[in-house]
Copies of this chain bind each other. A is one copy, B any other.
Amino acid sequence: MSKGKVVLAYSGGLDTSCILVWLKEQGYDVITYLANIGQDEDFEAARKKAESLGAKKVFIEDLRTEFVEDFIWPAVQANAVYEDRYLLGTAVARPCIARRQVEIARREGAQYVSHGATGKGNDQIRFELTCYALYPEVKIIAPWRIPEFYNRFRGRTDLMEYKHNYFTTFIFIHGIPVPVTPRAPWSMDANLMHISYESGILENPKSRAPADLYLMTKNPEDSPNVQDVLEIEFKKGVPVKVTNMNDGISKNTALDVFSYLNEIGGKHGVGRIDIVENRFIGMKSRGIYETPGGTVLLKAHLDIETFTMDKEVRRIKQGLGIKFSELVYNGFWYSPECNFVRHCIAKSQENVEGKVQLSVLKGQVYILGRESPKSLYNEELVSMDVQGDYDPCDASGFIRINAVRLREHHRLQGLSSTKQ
């Protein structure tokens, strides 16, 4: 008797392969689902592996365009950065993946979903809050939080050994060779936006990351010493076109634009950070990230936004962007408040339009200039050489009125100090 259907977010890797087999052991019909969000993966090999391990159905879904348009673009509009540094590459991917997982579960009549996220991390929360928000009656199986599972495979070292044994046995039964390759001494998560590295030898916050860790960006020491100059065109706060001024190459669909920025950013080693961050569950963790295209876009968007947006609107929007970043980091993409904030931020972007020129070199992005039909920049008004529609005498009154309060405060302090 089957316990029912479960849709497992399957990565093709060690952990979720192991979970697949374990779920089957427990009596579930397992449907695997693998989202293509731009990670470097042999999807057909993963399909075969899943089938060979006993998946009843295998879904492999190309979500790259919707990942860029529905998740990365709002983050660009928001200048989304968590704790002043992290561009949220994993956090924006999770609701994208889980949204489709839930769609499949509903379509396939599955009451259960499952994933391989660990019990100490943020991803379990991001996956599950998305699932609960979009499919409130769903039941979630998180093996890394189930003692009978995790006590057998405590930590990744044990898991590797177990898997090896298990699969050895397994091969004999089904006759399918499953390669067990030695793994890097850290865990990583890759998608179109970034690769993150954590755990293992990186858990010591003092130890340096190995130079060969990075897969998405060239080491800046080895990157070319000749800059690429790009022109990025924005409409409503999102890039609609990128042109390389060196060679004239140009892209104009969401996926192409973002992929090309990854390519150029990666070539020049842009977007590497090594941080200690605060997880939602209240512990600090050390993470290393490389976000080449996202970093280029963040700088370009900041530039065109300030060029076209009113100062005070931007100040309010800055606060909303920080809120958005926290919400996304914590897994609340599909929440009423994140919907609300996204709506407000999108509203603020209506006039964020124009072209930014920038150069990319040796890990850095340099803004070179910008232009916009919606600019609020008034060259004549600000000029030191012409007066424009501005009377400098007004500034005297402005300053003196701003000083009223400061002078009053001094008066009080004076009275206080006199008494003492």
Q: A119 to B384, alpha carbons, bound, how many Å?
A: 9
Min C-beta distance of A385 to chain B, whole Å: 4
Q: A414 to B323, alpha carbons, bound, how many Å?
A: 26
Interchain CB contact under 8 A, B397 and A395: yes
Q: Which residues of B contact A377 (CB under 8 A)?
A: 205, 276, 284, 286
Which of A31-39, A235-243, A365-373 lies at the interface?
Answer: A365-373
Q: Which residues of B contact A392 (CB under 8 A)?
A: 118-120, 144-145, 150
Within the complex, which residue of B209, B278, B390 is in contact with A314, where a contact is CB–CB below 8 Å? B278
Q: Which residues of B contact A390 (CB under 8 A)?
A: 119-120, 283, 404
Interchain CB contact under 8 A, A407 and B144: no
User: Given known contacts A132-B406, A385-B155, A393-B397, is B340 in contact with A347 (CB within 8 Å)?
Assistant: yes
User: Given known contacts A306-B83, A323-B316, A401-B281, is B406 in contact with A334 (CB within 8 Å)?
Assistant: yes
Within the complex, which residue of B125, B209, B407 is in contact with A402, where a contact is CB–CB below 8 Å? B125
Interchain CB contact under 8 A, B118 and A384: yes
Interchain CB contact under 8 A, B405 and A311: yes
With an 8 A cutoff between CB atoms, is A250 at the interface? no
Known contacts A83-B306, A147-B393, A275-B367, then 5 further A-B pairs from the complex at CB < 8 Å, ordered by chain A residue: A120-B392, A200-B385, A220-B361, A362-B363, A363-B366
A-B contact pairs, 27 of them (CB 8 A): A84-B302, A120-B382, A120-B390, A129-B406, A136-B410, A142-B396, A145-B392, A145-B395, A147-B393, A155-B386, A203-B379, A203-B382, A205-B370, A205-B371, A206-B371, A208-B368, A274-B366, A281-B401, A281-B404, A283-B405, A316-B320, A335-B405, A344-B344, A344-B347, A394-B397, A394-B400, A398-B401
